[in-house]
Amino acid sequence: MHNVKMIIEEQIESYLHMLREQERANQTIKKYAHDLSALAMWLNGRELNKENLITWKQYLITRYAAASVNTMLAAINGFLSFMGYPELKVKPVKIQRQIFCSTEKELTKAEYFRLVTAAKKKGNERLALVIQTICGTGIRVSELQFITAESVRTGRAEVFCKGKRRSIFLPKDLRKSLTSYLRAKKRTAGPVFLTKTGKPLDRSNIWRDMKALCKSAGVAPTKVFPHNLRHLFARTYYSLEKDLLRLSDILGHSNISTTRIYTMESGYVHAKQLNKMGLIAIATT
């Protein structure tokens, strides 16, 4: 009689402990914990076998986008390898490579500036500067903590994320604005962006405050989230420099394929480019 494989809380905790020892990002560990707990709840005491995992995968496909399903499967497959069950791993959903981004999610430069203006009009100078810092440097939200008073003075921040260290340069005008902000706050050291209790801002703080700007800025909520500012930085940089490899280094990507996703333009832009090529004969009546 074969041993029945199950998924229990102690196993999940052991796996998460291993991820922490590997210095995986906190957000990644939280995501994996959520996905594994969801699987355990769905199994509800049933055996952890290939048939049930394939059924779980089909269940996810009916409820989430393919990319989201694959991130969940990555958590599960990592756990299965850790437990010594590699034969149970399930294949990711095949996704045809996108060549355009959705116009519903593409934040334009004009919309970005409207968000900054809306934040200032609401008297939220901190939010206006957070938005400009992310968009002006291309950093991740989790990397805001490395924008310190010291880095504002030197013009360069040393960022450590996902096991890698890289230098981020701060634009001259951004440094001026951050210097004025720090002077007003009477701070000369430590992270620039803090909550009222003195803790570094986190993703939820910024996400909530940005969403509150949508109506007054006249920008669709689907476009307003912190990571979209990083995408706008990438598209703007690439349109000027056309240097994908250097952009990948600036963004801190391990895979240049990820960077290529960040530089995708909308189908509307592509259509305009096709029309400019002049390769179609003018129709006659």
Per-residue pLDDT of the chain (285 residues; tens, 9 = 90+): 457 788 888 999 999 999 999 888 888 899 999 999 999 999 998 999 999 999 999 999 999 888 889 999 999 999 999 999 999 999 999 876 665 566 778 899 999 999 999 999 999 999 999 999 999 999 999 899 999 999 999 999 999 877 778 999 999 999 999 999 999 999 999 999 998 888 888 888 899 999 999 999 999 999 999 999 999 999 899 888 888 888 898 888 888 877 877 776 655 556 666 677 777 776 665
Spatial separation of the C-alpha atoms in residues 154 and 51, rounded to whole Å: 57
- Chain center to CA of 250: 15
**DSSP element (H, E) containing 159:** strand 156-161
Residue pointed to by tokens 């996704």? 95
Q: Residue 97: how many CA atoms within 13 Å on its side-chain side?
A: 7
Nearest of 223, 225, 178, 234 to residue 203 by alpha carbon: 225
Residue 75 structure tokens: 């958590």
Active site residues: 140, 162, 227, 230, 253, 262
pLDDT at position 1 is 43
pLDDT at position 96 is 63
For residues 24-46, one letter each, b for 16 or more C-beta atoms within 10 angstroms of the residue's C-beta and e for the rest, the string is beeeebeebbebbeebbeebeee
* CATH number assigned to the domain covering 109-268: 1.10.443.10
Q: Give, to the nearest 10 degrees, the angle between helix 9-21 and helix 26-43.
A: 160
pLDDT at position 25 is 82
Please say whether the dihedral angle defined by the alpha carbons of residues 29, 41, 85 and 90, taken in this order, is positive or negative.
Answer: negative
Q: What are the domain boundaries of the chain?
A: 9-88, 109-268
Q: 152-157 — which CB contacts under 8 Å span 24+ positions?
A: 152/178, 152/179, 152/182, 152/192, 153/179
Nearest of 12, 266, 232, 1 to residue 110 by alpha carbon: 232
Spatial separation of the C-alpha atoms in residues 120 and 216, rounded to whole Å: 11
Contact indicator for 61, 69 with CB cutoff of 8 Å: yes
- Report the CATH architecture of 9-88: Orthogonal Bundle (1.10)
pLDDT at position 99 is 56
